[in-house]
């Protein structure tokens, strides 16, 4: 006869409390288009105080309109994460308008092809945007989070760091760098109460997938060969709402039928 175990589960297990998003102050790089915009819309709609920035005023205006239409509170400005002076300006504005920094979401990035394309100036700009921008933003964020003894840094990477597709060596180099940076960073800042999460998406239907038209992207999403930006936003929401005792160290999300 099989013995039935009586687990006598503590009722507190059924009263699981997630970390609230409401009233958190969140800074999102590249928050005016694609994944960053979707993240901003979702988090602001949940009651977070969000600041976004991007390179182009038209994109910023559209993003602010959409975020506010979703019921969110948002601030925004134009800035280029590859420029140290712009980064300083972003944080000056953030400090002026927000009491503290709870969460930084490093998302701004640009796609690029093989090393045979372009030359040093082009590669330098991609590295400054995709890697040095993450590092510089993180440096400023950690300085502010140390004061409160808590914070969360979310780095949006890419499964390209592992897949390492042909004809994308420059982009792969930056995302492999983000992967290593995130792991070492976590070990550095965990003892002072700061969480670090790396989210690595597969193919996502955004302007970075320029080889596909919007119609082709919609078709691929329908065939489960491509994700929507909102899928990544949902991942971010999951990671930042876990209790303080829980660290989501890394998370990979890919389309169900992505070929690579």
* Active-site entry in 120, 125, 171, 238: 171
Neighbours of 112 (CB within 10 A): 22
The Cα 143–Cα 125 span in angstroms is: 25
Residue among 105, 102, 87, 109 nearest 39 (CA): 105
Tell the burial category of 236 from Cβ atoms under 10 Å away from its Cβ (0-12, 13-18, 19+).
buried
* 3 phi-psi bin (left φ>0, alpha ψ -120 to 50, beta other): beta
* 171 has catalytic annotation: yes
Q: For 114-180, list the strands marked E by DSSP.
A: 151-156
Instruction: List, by residue number, the catalytic residues.
Output: 171
């Amino acid at each position: 006869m099989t013995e039935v175990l009586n687990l006598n589960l503590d009722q507190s297990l059924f009263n699981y409390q997630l970390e609230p998003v409401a009233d958190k102050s969140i800074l999102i790089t590249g928050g005016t288009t694609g994944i960053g915009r979707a993240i901003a819309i979702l988090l602001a709609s949940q009651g977070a105080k969000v600041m976004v920035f991007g390179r182009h005023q038209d994109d910023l205006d559209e993003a602010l309109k959409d975020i506010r239409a979703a019921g969110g509170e948002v601030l925004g400005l134009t800035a280029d994460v590859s420029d140290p002076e712009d980064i300083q300006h972003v944080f000056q504005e953030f400090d002026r308008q927000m009491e503290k920094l709870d969460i930084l979401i490093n998302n701004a990035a640009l796609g690029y092809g093989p090393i045979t394309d372009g030359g040093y100036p082009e590669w330098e700009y991609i590295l400054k945007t995709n890697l040095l921008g993450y590092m510089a933003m993180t440096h400023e964020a950690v300085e502010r989070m140390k004061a409160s003894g808590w914070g969360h840094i979310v780095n949006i990477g890419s499964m390209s760091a592992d897949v390492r597709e042909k004809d994308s060596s420059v982009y792969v180099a930056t995302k492999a760098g983000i992967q290593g940076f995130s792991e070492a960073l976590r070990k550095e800042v965990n003892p002072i109460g700061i969480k670090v999460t790396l989210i690595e998406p597969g193919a996502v239907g955004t302007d970075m997938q320029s080889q596909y038209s919007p119609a082709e992207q919609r078709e691929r999403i329908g065939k489960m060969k491509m994700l929507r930006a909102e899928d990544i936003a949902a991942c971010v929401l999951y990671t930042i709402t876990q209790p303080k005792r829980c660290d989501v160290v890394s998370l990979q999300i890919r389309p169900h039928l992505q070929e690579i």
